[in-house]
Amino acid sequence: MVNTEKLRTAFPDTTVYKDPNIVAIFKAASIPSFLRDWILKRKAESDGRIHDAEALRKYIYEIIPRRENLLELKDAARSEGLTKKFLAKIEIQFSVRSNEYTFAIPELGLGHAETLIDDYVWNRIKNDVVKTAGGWGLVQLGYCSPGDDKPRGCFTLLEYKNFCPYTIDLDAYREARSQFTAEEWLDVVLGAIDYNPEGYEDWVQKHTVLTRLLPFIEPRLNLVELAPKGTGKSYLFGRVGKYGWLVSGGTLTRAKMFGDINGKSPGLVATNDFVALDEIQSIKFHDPSEMQGGLKAYMESGEITVGKNRIIGGAGVILLGNIPQTEMDETRDMFQRLPGVFHESALLDRFHGFIRGRDIPRMSENLKINGWALNTEYFSEIMHLLRQPAETLIYRHVVERLVDYPINADTRDTEAVLRLCTAYLKLMFPHVADPNGIDRWEFKRYCLRPAVQMRTVIRQQLQKIDPLEYGGKNIAAYTLHEVEQ
C-alpha cells in the first residue's frame, strides 16, 4: 500500500478521501465516480472528510436533478427567467437550416427541438464545449417567449461551466509519477479507480485489473474481455470516466455506432474514447452483416464511409462478456459465446488483445478503497489527455526503440503488441520519454510480456475459429533489443 503522506505530497491538490460509507451514498444515487469526486472535493471539510452524510445527500439531490424534476425546471425558467445552477451532461448541435446552436440534456428528457443557445452565450462557452460537443458541467437554463423572430418559445442556455476544477498539467503529473516505484504506482492507480490494493493477492491481479484502462489512454485500442460475473467490468467502463460509452443490451444499429447516412448525427466511435459492448451475448444487431462490415472497416483504419460521408473516429471497441471460471481455457474456443457477428476470423483478427478475466477476483468489500486516493475525475482527465496524437507519438517511439521482432512477423500481431505496449507505458511509466529512461526488466514485466500474452490469446482463438487460415501460425518472438547510447 502506498504511503498516504507520500501520495498527498506528490499530488497535493488532486487527492480525495474515499470513505466506503460516503461512496455508498453516491452509488445509491447512480452518480459516476468522476462526478462523485468533484462533489467530494467541493463539500469535504478541512480534514478532507465528509462528516454530515445527511447534508451531503440533500446537496446531491439538489444539484443533480432527475427526469421527474424537468417540469419544475421548465417552470422556473419560464416564470422566474432562470433556474438554479445544476450539474448535467449537455449535448450540442449546430443546425445549418436555422443557423442556430441547440442543446439537449438527455438524462432529463430535454431535447434539441425545444432549446436554443444565443450567440452571446455561445461565444462565452464555446471553448469549453466545442471539442467535445458538450459534456458535464454546471448548467443554468432560461426561457425565451415566442415573438416576431421566434414563432415558438424555447429554453435557452444561460450558463455552462465545465466542472473540472483542476489545471491539468501533464508535466506535473509525470514529475509526480517519477517519485514512485512501479509497485507503488500500481497501488496509486488502483486507488484512483476506487480499488483497495491490499485486497489483491499479487501484482498480477492488480495489473490485470488495470489492463482494463488501456482503451482509456490509447486511441483505437480494441479488446475482448471474457470474465466471471461480478468482477467489475460494467463499473469500470461505465462509471470511471466521462469520455467512454457503455452499451448494455438492446439493439445496436449502424447509425448509432458509426453515424447516420445524412452525416447529421455522429456515431459513438466519433464522439467517445471507447465504446464498450457490455453483456455482449445479449446485444442484438439491427443488420448483422452491415455491422460486421462496418466494424471491419473501422477497426482496421479508424475510418468508415457511410453514404457519402467519411467518418473518422478514435474510439476503441471493447467486447465484454461473462464466462464461468471453469471455461476460462485459452486452448478451447471461448469465443463461441460471442454473437454471430464476431464469428469471423477477419473481424476477430482486428482485436488487439484479450483481457484474462480469470486473473481478476470477484468484487468484495475488501477490494473497495478506504482512505486517501488519487481523484478519479483528475485521473480520467489525465488519461484522456494522454490520448493526444503528440503524446502517443512520444511513447510509441520509446516502444519501437525497445521492442525487437523478426522481419517476417505478422503485421497485425506486431501492431497489436506495439500498441498495447504503448498503452501500458503511458499507464505505468508516463514519466518515461526516452528508451534509456526505463528499467528494461520493468518494461518487460509490466509492458511487453503482458502485451504479447494478450495478443497470443487472440491468435489462439483465431486458430480455433479458422484452422485453415491460422492453424499452426503462432505469434512471433517479441523481445528487447539493445538501446543505442
DSSP string, 81-129: S-PPPEEEEEEEEEETTTTEEEEEBTTTTB-GGGEEB-HHHHHHHHHHH
Look at 129 and 469; give whichever has higher pLDDT: 469
What is the band of 427 on the pLDDT scale with cuts at 50, 70, 90?
very high
Angle at alpha carbon of residue 483, lines to 482 and 485, rounded to 5°: 125
- Domain count for the chain: 3
Residue 285 structural domain? 174-367
Looking at the structure, tell me whether residues 89 and 188 fall in a common domain: no
What average pLDDT does the segment 23-34 reach? 85
Tell me how far apart the alpha carbons of residues 77 and 374 are, in angstroms, rounded to a whole number: 38
Asked which of 25-29, 258-262, 462-466 is least confident by mean pLDDT, the reply is: 258-262
Looking at the structure, tell me whether residues 355 and 418 fall in a common domain: no
Is 226 in contact with 321 (CB distance < 8 Å)? Answer: yes
Looking at the structure, tell me whether residues 356 and 243 fall in a common domain: yes
- Amino acid identity, residue 413? D
Tell me how far apart the alpha carbons of residues 187 and 207 are, in angstroms, rounded to a whole number: 10
Reported as a single tens digit per residue, the pLDDT across 296-329 is 999 999 988 877 788 889 999 999 988 887 778 8
Q: Write down which residue in 162, 196, 218 finishes a domain.
A: 162
Tell me how far apart the alpha carbons of residues 300 and 267 are, in angstroms, rounded to a whole number: 17
Nearest CA among 332, 348, 350 for reference residue 340: 348
Asked which of 132-146, 205-219, 415-429 is least confident by mean pLDDT, the reply is: 132-146
Looking at the structure, tell me whether residues 86 and 224 fall in a common domain: no
Q: What is the model's pLDDT at position 316? A: 96
- Residue 207: pLDDT above 70? yes
What average pLDDT does the segment 233-253 reach? 85
Nearest CA among 83, 48, 79 for reference residue 62: 83
Tell me how far apart the alpha carbons of residues 347 and 327 are, in angstroms, rounded to a whole number: 23
Looking at the structure, tell me whether residues 381 and 361 fall in a common domain: no
Q: What is the model's pLDDT at position 485? A: 45
Looking at the structure, tell me whether residues 385 and 351 fall in a common domain: no
pTM of the entire structure?
Answer: 0.86
Task: Report the percent of the chain where pLDDT is more than 70.
Answer: 96
Looking at the structure, tell me whether residues 222 and 309 fall in a common domain: yes
Reported as a single tens digit per residue, the pLDDT across 395-405 is 999 999 999 99
What is the band of 132 on the pLDDT scale with cuts at 50, 70, 90?
low
Q: Write down which residue in 107, 141, 162 finishes a domain.
A: 162
Query: Does 39 fall in a domain?
Result: no
Asked which of 10-14, 228-232, 411-415 is least confident by mean pLDDT, the reply is: 228-232
Looking at the structure, tell me whether residues 392 and 407 fall in a common domain: yes
- Residue 387: pLDDT above 70? yes
Q: Nine-digit cell at 82?
A: 432562470
Looking at the structure, tell me whether residues 198 and 227 fall in a common domain: yes
- Residue 484: pLDDT above 70? no
